[in-house]
A and B are shown apart, each in its own frame.
Chain A
């Protein structure tokens, strides 16, 4: 998986000290790919929805997205913005 672009999200989280970005991917997210994100934090997958939703959360960041989309959202805490690089590397290497 390649990350084609990293765009600041229109969802404004900065008010609460969080910064949100959308990672634009080279291909749509598969369920297998989504489940590869599990080691990053607590993992939620709502597979019964018309378009299944996932969320991965730890103290420093939150990932959320929809199965089949070619992007997902990353919100990082303002004090840990370097986590964005770690997540990007993880996605490129594992997905």
Chain B
């Protein structure tokens, strides 16, 4: 089987991730502020925060929190910020993990939401985004790397705009953390959202968020934390954000995945993935029945979307899976708004997404299969 669906979840995982996950379940549980063992060795939580700080480009790594993934992170942040009756700007490239909380969280029911458009390859012009700013705009949310087109947005420029207007900026790096160099502090990111099971090579059920110092969230879940159990009502606003027993085996896997990437070098991983993508883009350019929603020069992420004339995306995926043993993803990819801007229609696209474990042979096998479909 050739796995080209890494933008959904990465496979395979490095051996060190498998071992770390298994070890976390086999050995006595790591302390989570609840054990007499606390302080006897570096806490897994702290070590994972430090690792994520390096990957996100964030110096204040203690401001990184862990959750079950990007979706929970976005809900926690949007429910926790004081955005009452404010205006929020986001983009049509967003995943439903952003769009659905924005339009459904009761805490945001009084907020107005504006959507910045994108071009036919998924690029959002920062100037278009700036033009949507109003006096009461409180937050800009931007998807760093599109999970549909692989377009990487100019978050540095958007960050400068947000800072100039005194607006918070949230960057969703779910698709880019672990495969692109990130510079949260340089980009002036106020909030960053990540998931653990994609390019960070961790397991499903892990992720988190960073919130800059000075921005306080009201937690949207409360419960046991193992710290000061006598304080039932947080009268001083000294909230805790890690209620409930945390996914420590997941964090052990995430830490292992992140450290593996840092050891390999994210730039090195990116170069390999980029080489594969360039090979794929180059091959697809010669296939007349295939429309690619991006170009090798503009769409820099490790994924692309396409359609084959006369075949629905789900048919293409079925043929690739059952005829050639190649796993891809089709449909709207949980990003429903972008497709009318791409021209990819209501059935969406076929998406190819690579990881550092894919090979030239994987891409060439895919290209051979698509060549047969192109010549049909």
Contacts and interface: CB of A to CB of B under 8 A. Distances in A.
A64 B19 CA distance: 40
A73 B322 CA distance: 11
Contacts of A65: 322
Contact of B372 (A49, A64, A66): A49
Contacts of B241: none
B322 A49 contact: no
Interface in A33-64: 46, 48-51, 53, 55, 64
Contact of A51 (B317, B323, B331, B376): B323
A66 B322 contact: yes
B322 A69 contact: yes
Interface string B316-344: 01110011100000010000000000000
A50 B318 contact: no
B314 A11 contact: yes
Interface in B280-326: 314-315, 317-319, 322-324
B113 to A, nearest CB: 22
B116 interface: no
Contacts of A46: 319, 373, 376
A64 B376 contact: no
A66 B369 CA distance: 14
A49 B319 contact: yes
Interface string A66-78: 1001000100000
Interface of B: 314-315, 317-319, 322-324, 331, 369, 372-373, 375-376
Given A11-B314, A46-B319, A49-B323, 5 more contacts: A48-B375, A48-B376, A49-B372, A51-B322, A69-B322
